[in-house]
Amino acid sequence: KAGVTQTPRYLIKTRGQQVTLSCSPISGHRSVSWYQQTPGQGLQFLFEYFSETQRNKGNFPGRFSGRQFSNSRSEMNVSTLELGDSALYLCASSKPTATNEKLFFGSGTQLSVL
Amino acid sequence: SQQGEEDPQALSIQEGENATMNCSYKTSINNLQWYRQNSGRGLVHLILIRSNEREKHSGRLRVTLDTSKKSSSLLITASRAADTASYFCATDALNQAGTALIFGKGTTLSVSS
């Protein structure tokens, strides 16, 4: 069974640009969550999607958005990039209908904003 | 603010020794989980303990949970060099739907041979 796949693995952007990150969950998993990891703030929850609907949202500005498609694949978008958006962005999926269960993480997308 | 806080921030031990990491959290939870992360990679789930459980074992891992003190500990017995990684505790929020976990800043474990 294939794991959670995130693309691209590395990304370099400049301030003011926008970026789209992609995540394909494990087959059959309908919940997809996104996390930002930085050395200073650690792992912070961005948002969670379940059956194409945003179910939970973390404390991030509106520049951070996401969506989920009918095949459960998810994308997150960051507009007007700032230097502080440089981070490892991790996607995780979990089983259908399960709440508060374990997450399966992808390898992440390392975003560098110059 | 982050709910889980691990202690110590860093731990260095020799192969064969035991490693103990502690986690504290702030609010009521449904369950607490521990994850491992190898440098720059995704997290791997290790163990989940529910709020009505006090101790759980999985191979060389032993997790305890004290809801009255809002704390948990992870014990890795007979450590190996391959256990070198960062370890994070993660909590949910009581009665919250979905899987929005709050992670601590982690303990970096270094096991030397």
Rounded Cα distance, A75 and B78, in Å: 41
pLDDT(B19) > 60: yes
Q: Is residue B4 within 8 angstroms of chain A, CB to CB?
A: no
| Res B7: pLDDT | 87
Please identify which residue in the block is written with the tokens 């494990």: A26
Count CA within 13 A, CB hemisphere, residue A13: 25
pLDDT in tens, B54-105: 999 999 999 999 999 999 999 999 999 999 999 999 998 766 667 789 999 8
Q: Please give the average per-residue pLDDT across B34-40, as a whole number.
A: 92
| Res B1: pLDDT | 44
pLDDT(A95) > 50: yes
Q: Please give the average per-residue pLDDT across A93-100, as a whole number.
A: 73
Q: Is residue B101 within 8 angstroms of chain A, CB to CB?
A: yes
pLDDT(A102) > 60: yes
Instruction: Kindly report the nearest CA distance between residue A18 and chain B, in angstroms.
Output: 23
